[in-house]
Chain A
Amino acid sequence: MEHNIYQVIWFILWGVLWAVYFMLDGFDFGLGMIMPFVAKNDMERRVIYNAAGPFWDGNEVWLITAGGATFAAFPKAYAIMFSTLYTPLLLILFALILRGVAFEFRAKEESPVWKAVWDLCLVVGSFVPSLLFGVAFANFFLGLPIDREGILHGNIITLLNPYGVLGGLLFVVMFVVHGATWLCVKSEGDLCRRARHVAEKFWVLEVLILGIFLVATGLVTDLWANFFRYKILLIIPALALLGLISIPAFLGQGRYWWAWFASALTVLMTTAFGFAGLFPRLIPSRLDPAATLTIYNASSSPLTLKIMTAVALIFVPIVILYQIWAYKLFSDKVSPEFLETEEAY
């Protein structure tokens, strides 16, 4: 198939959609994962639910759009990515369902058992996607054992190789820090202090695991090759590290919004690092270089890509504007008065 500029544009948009998704839903996942460790009573748990309350649904749509964009722009990659990752993907989707309904259902009954069940769903529904998205993306970086027919030679255990697991751990820890800084933004008093404590502790782990991950990436993948070929790209991992080292500095000063922005930069740039290293590949094959899916052999027709580019360039900025407006509208701390209202989760 012919090469064209739209394939490159859509590769970038594809990466941006996934990166923004992880940046946004990442903090929701983090909130869910830290809940058992930071919340001591029902009131504090409710602060956590309401810290994500107005946002989680809009955040999740970035996943739907990232999936839809993969389908539209690179249908062959969409088909092979999701059929080969059948079991982990369905586990992620079931977990996301549990997470979503936990928000909506928990406050609808007073019974402590009812609440405990949905709390468990929130925790599991936040942990499983974090881990498995990490495992899946690390495996994309590493290359999947797929043949020219797009058939996977292996199973879910094949994906749980050391590098894959490392990717999973990285996502979990990164999202824990991300969610904890968000909770610092949205809560007060003891809960805020505990969230900060979690953020600081897990930050040490994040530094460690991200360091190991970047080294391991150099050892087992060829992702770094693009960065040495085009030195300008080195700004991406540099920004990831800059974000990372800024987190504890801002936390120490009590500037929680800035700490969260720093963490968001880390998530964005860590994801971007992977995509920039993959370019122009979408899913490398570990078995056969000819089976590797690239933006050139897996893309849609130029006409479809052109139409999709127009749609994206018009509507994505509008989406970003109204989502920022919504974030600003609910940017204050979750107050005890708000928890009294019937709307509160």
Chain B
Amino acid sequence: MDVVLASRLQFAVASLFHFLFVPLTLGLSILTAIFETLYVKTGDEDYKRAAKFWGKLFLINFALGVVTGITLEFQFGTNWSRYSMYVGDIFGSLLAIEATLAFFLESTFIAVWHFGWNRLSPKLHALCIWLVAIASNISALWILLANGWMQNPVGYTIRNGRAELASFIDVITNPFGWMEFIHTVSGAYILAGFFVLGVSAWHLARKNEVAFFKKCFRVAATWTLIFALFEVFNGHLHGSEVAKAQPTKLAAMESLWETKQGAPMYLFIIPDEKNERNKVELFPIPGMLSLLAYHSPNATVKGLKEWPREERPPVTLTFWSFRLMVGLGFLFAALSVLVFLSRDNPGRFPWLLRILPWVIPLPYLACEFGWMVAEVGRQPWIVYGLMKTYEAVSPISPLQVGISLLAFILFYTLLGLVDFYLLFKFARKGPEPRTKVSLTAKPATI
């Protein structure tokens, strides 16, 4: 195996694994903050228990997110040192700002929140989890501005044999980065929403802590509806941004080989990468692709054959990742409407309650597919149009990378298993019993 491929695989393993933990952090921090705020506002002990229960799951998840994030930052140096030299002037500063603005805030206040239940006033304590939620979302913004720059480099000039910063404003207002940010965090919020819904549904179906989980379900139902619908809308806008900035990625996402005016969208396609065509193309919607990409049914969409083979991304992988992500996105939107309709009476559709726990893994898949589209679809570029991936790799021995790749896979698999085991265990265990048990309260029914 060569160094480029091994390093790419290693980065893929490290980032896809890292991203198993990030979205729940982004979303569940806000949901936990909402529960704790409801406690401060209403004095309802259940909301305090909710903050503690979801907070505990948050912490188990957060631990692995933190420690696997560090390896990502340092891999730019270990495996992609030529990239780091070439674009560090811009990319490095975004990472450093992320650490300074967000990571300190996040790590300091999550500890204060975790250990500070008896040391701070309820309001100040709730403020801590809000700071954590804000900090983790700020960190998402900066890292996605950094990734957005790799997708759509702006505000730079080539000087001294590298890309140097020309306009900081251009870099931090990069529309591609902002679209990525909005799309990624909304996806994360959907994931966290279905996580809370799924765990709550599991307990509700078993009549555990019914009153408690009904409250959680209700909050998560509205939350999930908002972001699941918003995601469809902003996903469309993000797609138009891709069409503008990365025509090769768009063509691969749709497996479009020939340039077409008024390009249709096929509901079902099986790409045949080797022969530069599609094996199967079924159910066309005339002009739809042109309309979605360029807001006009007659617009011309460039096909993959416009570019030589070595300038195209892997089509099959990009295409299927995109299709599955979009399909899941629509499924989430549909489910979220049903969930919303049953927010006051979670037992309204009994089958929904039974399937919701099984829905939990699906947004995880959608997030990972999204990253595959973003990163695989950008190939062969590491910085679109500016630097090829093979030029970016470190001058290190393939053996070294081979060993570390193997170590990453083994090590991360073990850690992932332990972490998900603990998440399962504590999710099923439910909240700690009420401290002040009120025996008069009637058990709620569903």
Contacts and interface: CB of A to CB of B under 8 A. Distances in A.
A97 B68 contact: yes
A78 interface: yes
A319 interface: yes
B377 to A, nearest CB: 26
A79 B166 CA distance: 22
| A90, A323, A342, most chain B CB atoms within 10 A | A90
B115 A86 contact: no
Contacts of A63: 70
A261 interface: no
B88 A300 contact: yes
Interface string A54-75: 1101101101110111011101
Contact of A68 (B92, B117, B396): B92
Contacts of A242: none
Contact of B165 (A57, A76, A304): A304
B99 A68 contact: yes
A79 B396 contact: no
Nearest to A308: B93
A75 B118 contact: no
Contact of A53 (B77, B115, B168): B115
Interface residues of B, number: 72
Contacts of A73: 92, 96
Contact of B394 (A57, A58, A86): A86
B73 A58 contact: no
Contacts of B117: 341, 343
Contacts of A101: 63-64, 67, 415, 418-419
Nearest to B76: A71
Contact of A72 (B69, B92, B418): B92
B415 A300 contact: no
A5 interface: no
| B71, B81, B400, most chain A CB atoms within 10 A | B81
A150 interface: yes
Contacts of B2: none
A258 B356 CA distance: 56
Interface of A: 1, 53-55, 57-58, 60-61, 63-65, 67-69, 71-73, 75-76, 78-83, 86-87, 89-90, 93-94, 96-97, 100-101, 103-105, 108, 149-151, 300-301, 303-304, 307-308, 311-312, 315-316, 319, 322-323, 326, 329-330, 341-343
25 contacts: A54-B114, A55-B111, A64-B70, A64-B99, A65-B96, A68-B99, A71-B88, A72-B93, A75-B92, A81-B77, A83-B78, A89-B77, A97-B71, A100-B63, A101-B63, A101-B415, A101-B418, A104-B63, A149-B395, A304-B93, A307-B93, A307-B168, A311-B96, A319-B105, A322-B109
Given A89-B77, A303-B168, A307-B165, 8 more contacts: A71-B84, A76-B88, A83-B77, A86-B394, A104-B59, A301-B165, A323-B108, A326-B111
